[in-house]
Structure formats: structure tokens, C-alpha cells
Structure 1
């Protein structure tokens, strides 16, 4: 699956990696105008591809048909229960994907609303994941669930809730009828499906070994997915022949045996210098040897370890040091490990077994990324591998510390891409996603933000958060766009992102309008309001009531010079029949009761039609609009065919 800032590979014939977990191919770059750019496929398309892959790999568990039947009628809510690792979230996603009459994408709902609960639209599909909720939180969370249920039923939407495993005894009796329990699908069937999707050929007998059988019986679905990915990597590496059995055995070793081998290797190499080189090689797997060596030296400095080797020519050469640690140095000078996914096992071992120096690991990564000698591609990989380990170790707060460090003014914006990588992985994390959404919320509410941090927050809200949590993305972008103390370029970027989201959704447009109309943000509020009534970039027919309200606010707060060009654009759109005459009605409603505003609209129409006097469609549009204005004013002035203003007697 190709993503914004990284790529989760679903095609096993793509780029090879030998690390654990997902493959990350970083495509973040800084453009010629110092703007954070994302090359490649849009994240919304990535999410679509991920769900398409899920559809191809998914094995329906027992209970699926019953849940799908429950979800058929509009307003249905299903509470999906099952053992941990049974694939509840994947099942919830599949149920919503296959729900009848889908309207738009699947939106994930937050456990707590920061901006009030909004009414869902008919046909919308919602996912509420409670799988990480514990017994102390579940009673209060059920109240939120009840609120969502009421709104979904009232508005004929659909919602699937992933229940926390093992807490069915705490479920409120009123919610019990919503429960559908699924059973864990057969592990071999799941593994086989994942292998076939990756184009790996095998026989049924080749999946019946004892080791594989135990794994298939007990492992969570995500581990079977990872095992299939490792098999595909072994096939594509050309290091394990052409036989499935060798690919399978290499993948099993990578998923089950490497931890013991890494521990043995560290016992054989107790010196700080050797261990620093081993960790640097794992964190910078695939980087040039000089980069790995430099990073190892930085780690020793951070840990304040004295040099324990002979100096200069008396010391070991780089090749000797690599050979001792069984590190490979490819012909192009890049460093790696011979074992499949061994680098990931090394990273995991250090983070799991040296908890007292995890803060130093964080500081080390921060310094390495900031060093100018490391290529941007290596910086991105290093940032992602650090994020993976920090989150696995339960240290999400390490990521914001580096985000702030990398976006300080002293860095000149050159590390925004790496900061964005950390935030994207945090926001996308199954367990810590809510924590990061809240952290972003706390950032954007602050009056003073470093400009580069504001730009990074804008981009992750626009491209990452908006795909799965559009409501929360809009809230955060609104704070950024209305920040009165932020630099104009940062505010402009946030405003563009905010208006871009509103321009594609009537629901988001309507919600944003009502929030803005009660705001007291000053001049920057007017800029957002003006943007909402600009037809350029608008991809929807605006909700007319809110459209008129925005126009009224724009006319009241702004000068005619700020909004008359927009009136002309709408008149052109009406004349060219790109929008309905409802636009003109909204303008009249916005100016109703104010003679000066109505006169200004009249004068604007006269100016507009005079710009191209030979265009009959323009004259007809202006004539009709001015007649409506005259009616509102209680007078009888109309336009002649040439656009000249005359009274009813033609004088």
C-alpha cells in the first residue's frame, strides 16, 4: 500500500527490504518554495488501495453473515465482539465496505468530541474502535457510544463498533442487542490467502508443518499477514533459492528465532564500540558504510562512552569491524545483514532490553537526523524506524520531542519532512493514534508555534488526518488558520488546507460555517469567510442557507473591494450555467434589509455586464439579478440590453 510519506508494500515484487514490519519508502521532499511536498499517490487513494488489498486477503469468520445482515437497514449499528487477534477491526472495515448504498468513505469516530457532535449524513459509514479501551474507561465510553447510536439511527447512517475483548460482562443492557460475535478464522486459510495475493505458489502440504501449525493456531491475523510478507521477501531476495520450503523456513526463522540469535550476538560482543556499530547498522540498514560509522560514533558520544579501540592505523579497519558483527557491505558500499529481517530484530532487542537508555536512543536519532552529512532518504528511514521502536516500547511522547526539535527556526525548514514522517506514523498507529490526535490538538491551540511546526501540522492534518478523521482535521486546521500570532505564510497554508476540505463536502462546509460565525478571530477570520464564498476551487454545490450566512458576514465585516470581485465570479458562473440561480437568491438574502449593500450589488452587476457588453447571457443574468434587487428595494430600475441602467419608462 503506497502512502503519503511512506509505502506499505502490498505487491511482493516491489522494492525489497529485509526489516521487520511494514516497508517504508519515503517520498517527502521540500519544494522550490520551501513547501512540504508529497510525491506519489494521494493518501486517500492509498487508503482505498489498502481496503482493496484487505478485500482480496480477507477470510470471513464465523458470524460475519449475521453481522452483515444486521447492518443492511439504514440506521443500523453493529457492536462487533470477539477474542483479541480474531480480526475484529478488519471485519468491521469489511462490513462497512460491503454495506448497501455507501455514501463516501468510511469515517472513524473519536471517543471524545472536541467541537461538539455533528449530525451524520444519510448513507454515511462510521467506524468506532473501542478495542483499546480498558475496564476503567468502558462505562463512560458506552455513554459516547449511545450518543453516536442515537444520531446514526436518526439519520439513516450505518456504524460498526469494535468492542474491547473480554469486557462483554460490562456492557450496558441497552446495547446488548447490538452485539454480534465473530470467531477467529482458520489460520492456515488466512495465511494461504495472503500468500496467494502476493503471488507466492505453494501446496497445501507445505503449510502443514508443526511450527507453522502452532503459529497459525495462535497468532493474531496481523502476524500471519507479516509472515506472508516475509515469505514474499525471501522469494524476491534471490538468497533462498526458488523453492517455497526454503522461503517458508527463512520467514519462520525471521519471525520466531532471531531474538535468541541477537541476544547471543550481543553476549559475544560486549564492547560499547561493537554494540554501537551493530545498532547503527540496524537503524540505518541500507545506508552507506560511512553514514553507519558516523552514526555509531554519535551514539557513543551521546552515551558518553570512551573510545575503547586502538587509535588510527593501530585500530581495526572498517571491513574487520563489519566482519566481526556479520555485517554485509554491498558493492555500492551500503550496509546490511544477511538474515531475512535481522535488522528489525536487532532494533527490537536494543529497545526492549535497554529501557534505561531509551531517552539517549531518542537523542541520538535526533542528532543523526539533524546532521548535514546524512542523505534525506536515510533520514526518513531512520525517523520511521525510530518511531516504530518508540511506539512499540510505549513511548509515544518521544516523537513530539523530536518533531519540535526538527522544526525549530535554527533548522531552516530542512527537517520538516522527517518531522512529518513521525507524526504520520503516530497518527496512523492503531494504539496511539488517539494520543497523537490529541497532541496535535494541543499544539494547534497554542498561540505561538514555530512556523515550520505549523506547516508540518497543516500538512499532516490535510493529507493524513482528514482521510480517516475529517472532523478532527477541520478543527485543527481552523485553529491554525485563525492563529493571530502566526506568520502570514503559515496561516495562508492552513487556510488553503481548511478551505480545500470544506470545498469538497457540503457537510464539512456547513459545519465550518457555523463554527466560524461564532468566532471572534478578527482579520484572519474574514480571510477564511471570503475563501468560503469564492467559487474558485469549490467542488460542491454549497448548502445555500450557510452560503447566504457567510455572504452576510463577509459583507458586514469586509469592504466592497474585498467581495465584489467574488460576486462577479458567481455572476459569470450563473451566466455560463455552471451553477444555479440559487446563488443570486443567496446574495439577495445576505444583503436583505441593507440598502447600501443592495445598491452595491446592483452597481457590481452593472460593472460586470459592462465588461463584455455583447454577451447576451451575461446581460440576461444581470437584468434578472437587478430586477430582483429593485424588487427588494421597492423601486423599478432595470438594465437595458446594452447594460445601461434605466427606469421602467426607458429614461
Structure 2
């Protein structure tokens, strides 16, 4: 399908997302004791990996998929997928790259527009470029980006799969035509059946032989068939829609095919402002307390400046009767819901689709609902997810940005940072508008200092959400935050970008070069670069070219007393058999040609050799001898670089120290 693919889950342990925008799963955002936003549960990377595993379980290859896979076998291959809307192009692209990628490697999605050298590919890297959502006016520029990406992919031996927009074949540049593979729609029945089997829904093949299902199998997009399977699972698990597949399927089909018409009929019978406000509020807060529904409805009428009913409240209809008249259920604990499966989704869609002039007001209303005391934290998160679903479905991704800015404004007092993080996560994770949200975030972090709460939210979102699928873009944004913010916010962004780069050679290389290019002109960049070069928390062998260039910048930009402790920590790492001789060679190359820097290296090495090594006293003599061997070897190499005779005495440490 042309959405995020369809997913079916075997032994689900939590919420399941099996559609393309009809269900949002919001990871809980909590404020820990250290007052930083942290995500509860799995990291975003694990969520992405689990999604792809689920996709593989119920993926049905479209026709000509094998042709695309064969082409992608070759390093440097570029494959362009075309096909009708809803035929599974993005899912096919993801599965093609999964099949071509090395075990444990990432599939990185590229931005639609070229951004800050956004592709530094190497052999074996896998990239996805989704152009399915671009308009006619955007397509020429998108093709230029595609050609740029394709050239780099071919030169580097990486692999690239691009999803082309449906129906725009006539606009495709002729030079790209040989790279196109035309996919055809997979069998809808096979997709639906596989989703059911993966979810362990018992059914007989002949139970799928209904007229309604046959029509859906032949015409519905794959995302709708995935949604239908998900609704069957929900009907089964709710124990409210019968005890067998036929009953579950009837409820699911009704939710897909009849719910919208049912909403139209209901609104035709309820034209009053309060009734409609109650209906929309109940759909947006389903699962919350009835009192929250009433408060939210009244707040909506205020935002819309709806004329108030002057009838005394005691003379008006009670809340319970109002809810019953709208077919809104209230259980024994007071939580509201709708009897018909997925009816709340149909209500939400109806209001956003049929009242386009009220969409800005709906956004402002959702923002103000966060103040309602009747809403619990989980209610607010569900409200955020449902709002984001509708805003994105109607092409209004900037509404998410508006609320994120409001919820992190100093006037909000930091209380709504989790909601701001959640709404940004939903936008960044969206297939069609994720690139737009990433561009908005980039604009924020490069514009100058941000409000403290917004900076903290962006730091967490970049590190934990964006980095899972767009790690280099996350590093770019975190570096800007670390440089442009102040105080605790700058420190948090700095820690986040270093955490990412210290565990990935590619990110280390990219961050190091950005810092090298800016290091001499910005003390903050030099400070971050020195932290990056520190072995203390490094989890990889650093890329030696960038490591050497980084040390050259640090040694020239900073006082010796600042970088000397880091050099000595590298010598200690060498003592523990970490790093090898390449560290010494890199340090020598960084200082080569500058006798003053070489003298400082010599002094730092001699001072380190004279320190007592850590550890039990009984092993200290051995450690001391090993330290002396390392120091002698390094100092001898420094002498050779300076042209000092190997047999002659080295520079006097005391004299050199005084010269510094």
C-alpha cells in the first residue's frame, strides 16, 4: 500500500497499529525525577524494528516484486517503484530494502529536499525515498533530489529504493525511466487472510466469499484491508460483537462501510450546537469521564463563540439523558464510549472533513482542553493522538507545530511537555508529512534560542524519535540546539548528540566533520568536538581520518591544559589495550608541523607516565612499567617527527612546561 504498510501482530503484547492512519499508538511520555522527558517502554528504534518485523509477517508481494528484488541485489542499485495508489508501493520498498540490508543495519529514509549534505553513503547502506505524496508542482524538484541521491548511491555501492507518485508517469524524467519497476496490486483476499492468520483469528476460507468482502478485496487500498483485519481483531478481543468470525466480520465491515453514513444520519437528527459539541467531544475523549465530555463540549462552544443557552441549568436536560439521546454509553465507572465498533473514528473524520472552516478552531479547542481538570494524563494523550490523526489526514501538519509551540510556551509552566513531545512524535513518524515536520524542527533549532521547554522537548524527540529513522538529521538538529541554547538545555542537547555519535561510526564521522568545519570560529563547537574525541564513553573505534582532523582543530583552538587530560585518558586506554597504535599516530599527525604542539604532547605524555596507575597495589609495578613503555615509544616518535636524533636526549619536561 502507499501508506506505512499493513501490519499484523503475532502474540501482541501491547497496542497494535495495523492501518495507515486510523489508529495512533502514543508512547507514554513521563517526567522523571531529573525533570527530563523520558519515554516509557521500548525505544523508538525498537518500535521501528518491530513494525518492520510485523510487516514482513503479513506482506504479500505484488506482481513484479521479484524483478525489483533482482535489480536491488547489485551494489549501487537504484530502483524506482511505480504502481496504482493503494497497491503497496511503500510496503514493497521497505521489504525490498529489508531483504537487501545486512543483518542489524538500518534503513534510513532520505529527505525530499537536499539538506546539508544529507547523503554520505558507503557500501551496503540502504536508503528509502518516498515521493508518493508530492504534488505536481513539487515533483520536478523532487526528481532533481532523486537524481542527486541516485548518483551518490551508484558511486558508493549503496542501495536506494524510491516510491514514485501514482498517476504522474508523464512527468518522469526520461533519464530515470530505465530504473522504474511497475508494481501491480497484490491479491486483496490474500492480504486480508494473512493478517487474520497472523493475529490467530479462526476462520474458514468460504467465510470470505461474501459479496461485500469480494468488492473490498478488488477495490479497497491495502491500508483499508489492513484496517478491516484490525477491526475484526478488535471485535474479537472486546467480547461485545458475538463469538465467531462471521459476527466479528459483520461488525468490522459495518464500521468500514456504514459508519460514515450513520454519522450523517445522526447529525441530521441532532442539529443543536450542544448536541454536536457533545458528540465530537465524546469521540475525541472516548474512554474519559462523562464530566470531561461535558466540560470539553462547553469549552468547544466557547471557542466557536456559539450562542449560549440562557435556560437555567436545572431546567435543562441532564447529562445522562443527553448522552443517551446521542447513543453515547457510560459504564459503571462513568467512562464514555460508543456501542458501535470504531464509531468514534467515524465521528471524528466527519467533523474534520465536513467542517473545513472550523479546523483551526478545532485545533485551538484541543489546545485548551489540556487545561481541563477532568482529563487524566492518559485521556490527554489519547486526545493528542486523535487530533493528530485528523490534522494529518486533512493536510494540516502545521497544526501540530502550533500546539507544540503553545504547550511549551513559558506561560504553560512546563506542565504540557509530554503532550508537546507526543504531538511532535506523531508528526515526525507520519509517512507523508514526517519530512515537513523535520524541516519545521530544523527551522526552529537554527533560528536562535528557543523557549526552555521547547528546547527540552526537541532534544528528546530528536534523540528518541528522529534518530531511529533519520539519525543524521537528528544529529544536525541536536548540534544546533547544543550550540544555540544555554544552560541545562544546551547541556542536554550536547549529551544527546554525543550519545548518538559515540555509538555509530557514520554519525561520529558526520558530526566530527561538521564540528571541524565550525570549530575554529565557535568555542562551543570546539568544546563538543573535544568531548566527542574523549575515549571515556566511546563505544566504537573512531574513524581515524576524522579523529585526526578533530584533534588538529582542538589543539589549535584550545589551551593545552584543556585537551591534555583527554590525551592522557587515551594513553590510559592504550594501557588497557584499547585504541592501539592508531591513536598515537593520529595524535602525532594532528600536531605534525607545529613544534609547540608536539612539545605539549611530549609534556602531557611524560606527566601521564609519572602518575600512579589505578588498581590494586600488587599490580602497580607491572602497570608502571607498561606505562613507561608506552610513554617512551610515544615520546620517541615525537622526537622523530621533530627531527630530533633518536639517540639524543628528549626535551627537558621542566623546560618545555615553562615554555608552555
The answer for the alignment partner of 1:500 in structure 2 is: 499
- Tell me what 1:35 maps to: 36
Task: Check conservation: 1:637, 1:646, Cα contact below 8 A.
Answer: no
CA distance in 1, matches of 2:435, 2:478: 17
Moved more, 506-515 or 344-353: 506-515
Distance 1:521 1:361, change over 3 A: farther
**Aligned: 1:555 with 2:564:** no
Match of 2:633 among 608, 621, 624: 624
Of 342-351 and 312-321, the range deviating more from structure 2: 312-321
Counterpart in the other structure of 1:300: 301
8 A Cα contact 1:17 1:233, kept in partner: no
Find the aligned partners of 2:101 and 2:450 in 1 and give their Cα distance.
45
Match of 1:241, SS state, is coil
Partners in 2 of 1:645 and 1:117 — Cα distance?
47
Q: Secondary structure at the match of 1:127?
A: strand
Structure 2 gap segments, 5+ residues each:
1-6, 614-619, 656-660
- Measured in 2, the distance between the counterparts of 1:328 and 1:637 equals 90
Residue 512 (structure 1) aligns with: 511
* Aligned 8 A contact 1:548 1:590 in 2: yes
Do 2:603 and 2:653's aligned partners in 1 also have CA atoms closer than 8 Å?
no
Count residues in correspondence: 635
Q: Give the distance between the partners of 1:15 and 1:47, measured in 2 at CA.
A: 15
- Taking the TM superposition and a 5 Å limit, the aligned residue runs for 1:265-304 are 265-304=266-305
d(CA) in 1 for partners of 2:16, 2:526: 50
Deviation at 1:602, TM superposition (A): 2.3
Question: How much does 1:192 deviate?
Answer: 0.3
Distance 1:499 1:13, change over 3 A: closer
Q: CA offset at residue 180 of structure 1?
A: 1.2
* 1:42-191 equivalences in 2 (<5 Å): 42-99=43-100, 101=102, 104-191=105-192
Partner of 1:525: 525
Q: CA deviation at 1:448?
A: 2.8
Aligned partners of 2:86 and 2:222 also within 8 Å: yes
In the TM superposition, what whole-angstrom CA distance separates every residue of 1:530-567 from its partner, at most 9, and x where no partner exists?
A: 11111122222111111111112112222223222211
Does 2:31 align with 1:22?
no
**Secondary structure at the residue paired with 1:482?**
helix
Structure 2 counterpart of 1:237: 238
1:572 and 2:581 aligned: no
Structure 2 CA distance, aligned partners of 1:24 and 1:93? Answer: 20
Higher mean alpha-carbon deviation, 146-155 vs 612-621, is at 612-621
1:311-350 to 2 correspondence within 5 Å? 311-350=312-351
Partner of 1:3 in structure 2?
Answer: none
Distance 2:429 2:600 in 1: 50
The alignment status of 1:598 with 2:602, answered yes or no, reads no
Q: Bigger shift: 509-518 or 305-314?
A: 305-314
Structure 1 stretch 101-110 or stretch 143-152: which is displaced more? 101-110
Counterparts of 1:15 and 1:75 in 2: how far apart (Å)? 39
3-state SS of paired residue (2:79): strand
Please say if residues 291 and 374 of structure 2, whose CA atoms lie closer than 8 Å, have aligned partners that are also in contact: no
How far the C-alpha of 1:348 sits from its partner, in A, is 1.0
1:84 deviation in Å? Answer: 0.9
Counterpart of 2:401 in structure 1 is: 400
The normalised TM-score by structure 2 is 0.91
Separation in 2, partners of 1:127, 1:390: 25
Check 1:521–1:53 CA distance in 2 against 1; reply closer, same or farther (3 A cut): farther
**Structure 1 residue 72, shift from structure 2 partner:** 0.9
The 3-state SS of whatever aligns with 2:100 is: coil
1:26–1:381 CA contact under 8 A, matched in 2 = no
- Deviation, 1:168, is 2.1
Contact 2:407 / 2:416 at 8 angstroms: preserved in 1? yes
CA distance in 2 between counterparts of 1:23 and 1:617 reads 58
Q: Does 1:455 align with 2:467?
A: no
State the match for 2:616 in structure 1: none
Contact 1:12-1:229 at 8 Å conserved across structures: no
Distance in structure 1 (CA, Å) of the matches to 2:324 and 2:190:
42
CA-to-partner distance for each residue in 1:381-431, whole Å, 9 max, x for gaps?
111111111111222221111111100112222211111111111111122
Q: Name the CA distance, whole Å, in 2 between partners of 1:52 and 1:598.
A: 53
- Greater CA drift, 141-150 or 54-63: 141-150
Residue 24 of structure 2 contacts residue 385 of structure 2 at CA under 8 Å; is this kept in 1?
no
Preserved CA contact (<8 Å) 2:515 2:526: no
Moved more, 132-141 or 16-25: 16-25
Alpha-carbon separation, structure 2, partners of 1:15 and 1:145: 38
Between stretches 32-41 and 228-237, larger displacement belongs to 32-41
Deviations 1:342-398 (A, max 9, x none): 111111111112222221111111111134553221111111111111111222221
Residues 8 and 58 of structure 2 are in contact (CA less than 8 Å); yes or no, is this contact kept in structure 1? Answer: no
Offset from partner CA, 1:593-618 (integer Å, 9 cap, x none) = 33332232222223323222621332
Distance 2:607 2:373 in 1: 57
Of residues 21-30 and 88-97 in structure 1, the stretch that sits farther from structure 2 once superposed is: 21-30
Question: Structure 2: how far apart are the matches of 1:492 and 1:73?
Answer: 44
Q: Is residue 633 from structure 1 mapped to residue 642 from structure 2 by the alignment?
A: yes
Say if 1:103 and 1:125, in contact at 8 Å, map to a contact too.
no
Alpha-carbon shift at residue 23 of structure 1 (Å) = 4.4
The 3-state SS of whatever aligns with 1:174 is helix
| Mapped contact 1:16–1:233 kept (Cα < 8 A) | no
1:630–1:638: 8 Å Cα contact kept in structure 2? no
1:287 Cα deviation after fit: 0.9
Q: Assess, with a 3 A threshold, how the Cα gap between structure 1 residues 539 and 495 changes in structure 2: closer, same or farther.
A: same
* 2:585 is the alignment partner of 1:585: yes
Question: Which runs of 5 or more residues in structure 1 are unaligned?
Answer: 1-7
**Offset of 1:315 from its aligned partner?**
2.9
C-alpha distance in 2 between matches for 1:587 and 1:562: 15
How far off its partner does 1:54 sit? Answer: 0.7
Offset of residue 28 of structure 1: 0.5
Partners of 1:501 and 1:324 lie apart in 2 by 54
- Do 1:30 and 1:417's aligned partners in 2 also have CA atoms closer than 8 Å? yes
Q: Cα gap change, 1:100/1:416 in structure 2, threshold over 3 Å: closer, same or farther? A: closer
Range that drifts further, 322-331 or 605-614? 605-614
SS at match of 2:439: helix
Q: CA RMSD in A?
A: 2.4
Given that 2:288 and 2:375 are in contact with CA atoms closer than 8 Å, whether structure 1 keeps it comes out as no
Please name the residue that 1:535 is paired with.
535
